[in-house]
A = this chain, B = another copy of it.
C-alpha cells in the first residue's frame, strides 16, 4: 500500500485568497489509483515551516507531493525546502538552464536573472519538463520514498502529473471501479433509506452525495484488476440501479442537459425564464436542441410570450398556471418543438418558490420547487428542476408524468 501526503505551498492559500483546487485534483487522482492519501497540509511561503512539513510528511508517507512554490521569485521556496529536508545542495543544471534560456529566446526576450533558480536540481532529483510554463517540476527519490514537486497553475500541474509523474510512480497492483448514478427529485435521506444495508459494506462501497443536480450514488469496488473490480461491483450496482430507477437520469459523465438533448432526438427546445435570469440557458449551452430563449421578468413582454393577463392578475407570475402558459408560449412564440418555462420568486416572503412546465408532444407537465436559500440557489434549483422535468417528460413520451 502506497501512503501519500500532499503539501500545498503558498501564503495566498493561508490568507483564503484562493481555494486549493490542485489538492482536490490530486486527491481524486490518487484515490482512483489505489494510493491512500492520509493528509493534506497547506503551508505558507516560509522556509523553516515548509522544510519541517516535508520532513514530517516523509517520516509518515511513501509519497509526498508538493504543489506550488516553484516560481522564480524569493517567495518561491519549494526547491530550497526539499533540498534542506534531504540535506542536499541545489546546483544549476546546464541542460535545464539551456532549455529555460531557449524558452525566453523563442519569445524574443532575455531571461531575467531571477529565473536561473528554475534551473536548479539536487542529486536525488530529476527534472520534470513543463510544456505549459517556465517552472520545471522535480521528481526526487530518497530512502525508498518519493518527493514530487509540481508548479501551482492547474494547467501546468495537471498535465505534468499525468505525463511525467504517474509513469514514474510504482502504483499499487490495484484497480478501482466506480459508477456514479445521478438522481433528481428524491432527498439524500430517502435515498439512504432505500439503499439500507448496501451503504454499510466496505467493498463494494455505496455512498450518497447531495449535488447541485440531485443526489448522486457512487458504487466503488477495489480489486487487483479492473475486470475483477467490475465483476465485484456488478451485483451491488444492479441492486442500486433497480432501487433508484424512477429518479435516475444518468450515470458517470452524463449531464442532465446532455441526457435531455438525447431524449429530444432532433426536436428543438424553446425556453422562457422569468426570475431564473439565464441560469437554465447556461445549463443548456452546447446542446444542439437548444433553439432560443427569452429571459425576462417584464410583464408586458411575458404577455406577448403567452402569459395571460388573467393568470398574472389572479395567480401571479410565480404560479403553476403561469409556468404552463409560458411553456406553451415558448413552443409557439419561439418556434420550437418543445417549450420549457421556469418562473422563480427570488425576493420577499415566498423567495425560493418556483414552478417549471414543459409543453410538447401533445401534453404538458409541471413541477413545483421550494428551495430555502439565497436567490442564486433558488435560481439554480429551479433551473435544474426544469431540466429534470423536461427529461422525465420526454423520456415518458406522450404518457402522463
User: A residues within 8 Å of B by Cβ?
Assistant: 13-21, 23-31, 37-44, 46, 49, 53, 209, 271, 273, 277-282, 284-286, 290-296, 298, 300-301, 334-335, 346, 375-376, 379
- Chain B nearest Cβ from A166, distance in angstroms: 16
Query: Assuming the A-B contacts A277-B285, A379-B285, are A15 and B38 also in contact, with contact meaning beta carbons closer than 8 angstroms in the complex?
Result: no
Q: Is the CB of A37 within 8 A of B24?
A: no
Residues of chain B within 8 A of A41, CB atoms compared: 39-42
Contacts of A291 in B (CB 8 A): 296, 298, 301
By the criterion CB–CB under 8 Å, are A26 and B17 in contact?
no
Report A299 CB to chain B, min CB distance, Å: 11
- In the complex, what's the smallest C-beta–C-beta distance from A291 to chain B, in angstroms? 5
CB-based contact A296/B293 at 8 Å: yes
Q: Report chain B residues within 8 Å CB of A19.
A: 19-21, 24
Partner of A14, one of B25, B27, B379: B27
Min CB–CB distance A206 → chain B (angstroms): 14
Q: Determine if A286 and B346 form an interchain contact, defined as CB atoms under 8 angstroms apart.
A: yes
CB distance from A372 to the nearest CB of B (A): 10
- 15 A–B contacts from the bound complex (CB under 8 Å): A13-B27, A15-B31, A16-B26, A16-B28, A19-B19, A19-B24, A38-B44, A278-B281, A278-B282, A278-B285, A279-B282, A281-B281, A291-B301, A292-B294, A301-B334
List B contacts of A13 (CB < 8 A). Answer: 27, 40
Report how far A243 CA is from B279 CA in the complex, Å.
Answer: 37
If A17-B209, A25-B16, A27-B15 touch, does A292 touch B296 (CB 8 Å cutoff)?
yes
Minimal beta-carbon separation of A10 from chain B (angstroms): 11
Known: A20-B20, A292-B298. A39 touches B31 (CB 8 A): no
Closest B residue by C-beta to A280: B278
Nearest neighbor of A220 in chain B, beta-carbon distance? B15
Query: Taking CB as reference atom, which chain B residue is nearest A276?
Result: B285
Least distance between A384 CB and chain B CB atoms (Å): 14
Which residues in B have their C-beta under 8 angstroms from that of A286?
Answer: 277, 346, 375
The residue of chain B having its C-beta at the shortest distance from the C-beta of A8 within the complex is: B40
Chain B residues lying within 8 Å of A271, measured Cβ to Cβ, are 295
Q: Which residue of chain B has the shortest Cβ distance to A24 in the bound complex?
A: B16
Most chain B CB atoms below 10 A, which of A26, A31, A278, A290? A278
Cα distance, A63 to B20, chains bound together (Å): 22
- Chain B neighbourhood of A23, CB < 8 A: 16, 42
Instruction: Give A285's nearest chain B residue, CB to CB.
Output: B277
Question: Do residues A16 and B38 form an inter-chain contact, with CB atoms below 8 A?
Answer: no
Q: Determine the residue in chain B with the shortest Cβ distance to A40.
A: B42
Contacts of A53 in B (CB 8 A): 39
- Chain B residues with Cβ below 8 Å from A44 are 37-38
Shortest CB-to-CB span from A110 to chain B, Å, is 16
Q: Is the CB of A14 within 8 A of B37?
A: yes
User: Please, which residues of chain B bring their CB within 8 A of the CB of A24?
Assistant: 16, 18-20
Closest to A347 in B: B286
Q: Which residue of B lies closest to A36 (CB)?
A: B14
A401 CB to closest chain B CB (Å) equals 25
Distance in angstroms between the alpha carbons of A41 and B49 in the assembled complex: 13
- Chain B residues in 8 Å Cβ range of A28: 15-17
Give the nearest-CB partner of A14 in chain B.
Answer: B37
- Whether A43 touches B38, Cβ cut-off 8 Å, given contacts A21-B19, A281-B295, is yes
Task: Check A278 against B295 for contact (C-beta < 8 Å).
Answer: yes
Which residues in B have their C-beta under 8 angstroms from that of A280? 278
Q: Nearest-CB distance from A282 to chain B (Å)?
A: 5
Q: How long is the Cα–Cα vector from A27 to B296 in the complex, in angstroms?
A: 39
User: Which residues in B have their C-beta under 8 angstroms from that of A25?
Assistant: 16
What residues on B are CB-neighbors of A277 within 8 Å? 278, 281-282, 284-286, 290
Query: Smallest distance from the beta carbon of A378 to chain B beta carbons, Å?
Result: 11
Extra pairs beyond A16-B25, A16-B26, A18-B24 (11, CB < 8 Å): A14-B40, A16-B27, A38-B49, A40-B42, A41-B42, A273-B278, A278-B281, A292-B301, A293-B293, A293-B295, A300-B335
